Amino acid sequence: MQHQTISRDNIRIMVDRFYSKVLKDDLLADFFIEKLGDEMISDEWQEHLDKLTDFWASITLGDTAYSGQPVKPHMHMEGLQRETFEQWLKLFFETVDRLYSKEAADIFKTRSEMIATNFMRLLGI
């Protein structure tokens, strides 16, 4: 089903689906396994999924629950390259295209691309 409207409930589904793909991806999985392990049912993973649900809800719905530092963890990850971000964006775009109408998916795509570009600029890659 393609959602026309973004809600916290469908963001959570999107986040779960995205990170399930990430954990199976040759380029991306190891970055996450190193920090969070390889079992999405673990407390570490559930905390990450809750946090990312809050993060996207703050961006797309103006929700105020997210109070983290999105840039910080990425600045200390060794081995991040442009192609890592390109792969992240590819999987993220596939996930939101499948779950949302074009208009709703475009909101996620525009914002994720801006943030990834900013991360790469800060990393000097």
Structure tokens at 77: 């990850």
Stretch that binds ligand HEM, among 1-9, 11-19, 45-53, 96-104 (CB under 6 A): 45-53
For the CB of residue 40, give the shortest distance to ligand HEM in the complex, in Å: 13
Q: Work out whether 3 is an interface residue with ligand HEM (CB under 6 A).
A: no
Q: In whole angstroms, what is the distance from residue 74 CA to residue 97 CA? A: 25
Contact call for residue 68 and ligand HEM (CB under 6 A): yes
Residue 80 as a binder of ligand HEM (CB under 6 A): the answer is: yes
Q: Specify whether the backbone of 6 is left (phi greater than 0), alpha (psi in -120 to 50) or beta.
A: beta
Q: How many CB atoms lie under 10 A from the CB of residue 88?
A: 20
Q: Which is nearer to ligand HEM, 1 or 62 (CB)?
A: 62
Contact 61, 8 (CB under 8 A): yes
35 token code pair: 């920090």
Please state the closest distance from residue 64 (CB atom) to ligand HEM, in A: 14
> Tokens at residue 105, please?
């998916």
- Tell me if 45 contacts ligand HEM by CB under 6 A: no
Which residues are near ligand HEM by CB under 6 A?
28, 31-32, 35, 48, 51-52, 55, 68-70, 73-74, 80, 84-85, 88, 112, 115-116, 119
